[in-house]
Structure 1
Amino acid sequence: MLDIKKMRTNPDFYRERLATRGVAVEDLDDIFSLDEQRRDLIKQTETLKAKRNDVSKEIAQAKRNKESADDAIAAMQQVGKDVKKLDEQLNEVEADFQNKMAHLPNMPHEGIPVGPDESVNVELRKVGETPNFNFEPKAHWDIGEGLGILDFERAAKVSGARFVYYVGLGAQLERAVYNFMLDEHMKEGYTEVLPPYLVNSKAMYGTGQFPKFKQDVYQIENEDQDLTMIPTAEVPLTNYFANEVIPAEKLPVYVTALTPSFRSEAGSAGRDTRGLIRMHQFNKVEMVKYTKPEDSYAELEKMTGNAERILKKLGLAYHVITLSTGDMGFSAAETHDIEVWMPEQNIYREISSCSNTEDFQARRAHIQYRDDNGKLQYVNTLNGSGLAVGRTVAAILENYQNEDGSVTVPEVLVPYFHGIEKITKDNAVPFNN
């Protein structure tokens, strides 16, 4: 949520900057108009309530003096009616104002590329050597199905498209990957959390998924419950301190979690219909930070480095890009995407997105701390994938594939993989042998 007080002081600046995020000037003008109406109604209401208090005192004084208070009582009744009418108007205007504010994206941080989409994203760095094969590399789904460790067909039978069974060493590879990630993040000072996988609408609002993106999630249809399956662990992790004041000396706070993520993938028909890239259910290791405002951009660079550390240790080539104003997520002020090399497609594909939301989420979730003067301030929150586990498995399968269809296990994962150094048809799935 943006700060309407700041918006009032420099409306043209907000019009200009939010236009780079696709916000129409007319929409902002509506918000400013509603804000003016609500402030005027609040002023009128407060004036009438003060008058009502004065009249109440007059009535009490008249009764004490055994004087007639009929005129004062009639005046108070009229004031009461006027207050009720103004309150009704204020509630209507306030609801419209809050709804429109809730649909405004975050302000883009100064200096990030301005543009409508990914075409103007800026590459920051490229790391690692892309592999050279002396054979035609296969797609990860073909490798996985050939070994029997990925079963999309049976998953479709049970759940539909965009689901998968990991089987045998496929399941163990996924587990090895996320255990490795969690251990690495804990070395960097993150506290591991096992959060709820179902959250209420307030939590979804707090991180910016609601009200704008309800079509992208799975909600529980139950009149007695208000629950949504999490689209990312960012939601329960960020809302851990909702409506709380974090002691300043505790900041920054780092937390990490492995959770499944559930996404309807609305609007993605025809995109990545095969493989592990765009699933309705997938595992992800998430990183979340709570920081003081002056530290948040240094912490963004550190978080991006935390995700890069995983890829470096896995020996996977990648590059880091800064997203443009038109390509960033709704809550982000600045985002660094990390894209891993996928040999079969001969391109880099997103595997992590690290964002600083500044105080945008903290305002919505009411997460604060006290500054050196004892004044309440909003923390800054950051989130990033560390990493998307399924996409990491896909990258390993493609980058470590062998001509005979086997897959070499990255050296750093062998201790997590019961000492197995290669996945072959002979050891992949015992019941297939």
Structure 2
Amino acid sequence: MDLEEAREFRERCTQCAAVSWGLTDEGRYYCTSCHNVTEKSKEVLSTEAIPNTKIQAINRGLKRKKKPERGWDWYVCEGFQHILCQQAEALQTLGVSPELKSQVLHNLWRRYLQKSRLAYCRNPVYSGRRAAAVSDDNPSHSGWDSEPELLSDFSGPSGPSVFDSGAESQTDAHPRGPLPSSKASQSDMSSVCSGSLDGVEYSLRKAKGTVKMTVPGTLALCSLSLLWQREAITLSDLLRLVEEGHVPCVNAFQHFPEEMKLYGRDKGIFAVESWPTYEDIYRKMVEVATFLDLPRFPDITEDCYLHPNILCMKYLMEANLPDEMHNFTCQVVKMAGLGEVDFLTFDPIAKKKNTVKYDVQAVAVIVIVLKLLFLLDDNLEWSLSAVAETHNEENKEDKPWFDFRKWYHVVKKSFDEKKRKLEEARAKCVTSSSCRFAGSFLGLSLRT
């Protein structure tokens, strides 16, 4: 190093007492006699003063964002809206059309808020007790602003709309914002053991003629949206996606923003400790569709995925059954009238409600065909299996006959393995959820 730059430093070396200094690449003084490096460094006004100097940044540490003490003032319906957004985005990631969220689910949710008098009406149910605390000059609200496309006014393209049955007449000419911000006092907030503004009130509300939204109810809305779009996802497919973790449901509240805290009654509203069942979701679908006065859904035609002929072919392939059985399933569907458009199309407000479990119906048709071919009396199917086994051994070069016994053992082994994994996943999910809930309640009790 250039010794001229270090001449101004006149202190003695602590090791050898010499006064002969140089500069390191980092700008520190070192003794040229014993090579001792001091902690002192030269104040550099220009990097050109020291050739090849390395400019080193001092990491002072990242400043952590201070967590909000209270968070947002939010309502229960905003929590359900956040879950709906998560579910719609998950389905869109899996390949569902973007219109499912931006158009169909948007309109269904807005219609529910209106029919439940939570928003888009003249006198929302929340305004009675907190009329003095609601600020009309601030129509925006924290939770809604994060997903404006779900509740913004939408003018869809020409074609059927879920608002065609006339419920729009109940709204104002210029509908107000979903839920204005509340300026409830801190004492009022602390008196309620809930992170949401209306958690306790929502839990106790028992209005006749109103369908209370639940977490399984959000799946019902998603399933209705899929049915309206005639997407290639049945209700059983949707529940499978939920159990595999592709569509949030059981622990969806864990993805709430940090500002939307869950306390007390909120956990009972948004925490789901068990997997939803097919019958529960289907019953909720019919209940919600009837409550919303939804019109007749788009027709289920022969080229639609939900038509029994297409679903039967799908399930025959998944069950590893012979393709030739599809001819028999088509004949059963035709003879029973199960493929008629009027029979298949979902119409919740007709005088005689027309609701069909498309996937269950297709499986039932396959079972009927198996019954017609093999009788399934625990005798004939095994006798025919013995005949098929003998024929296949004697004619190995020909196309093999269907061996019911062999098919049964292969399918049963696969089914038992899937069932075991599913039960383990359910038990793990319930256990982890219970631990989280217990920890949350314990933390809440310690704070109070």
Q: TM-score, normalised by structure 1?
A: 0.23
Structure whose alpha-carbon radius of gyration is higher: 2
- Structure having the higher helix fraction is 2
- Structure having the higher strand fraction is 1
Q: TM-score, normalised by structure 2?
A: 0.22
Q: Which structure ranks higher in relative contact order (CA pairs < 8 Å, sequence separation ≥ 6)? A: 1
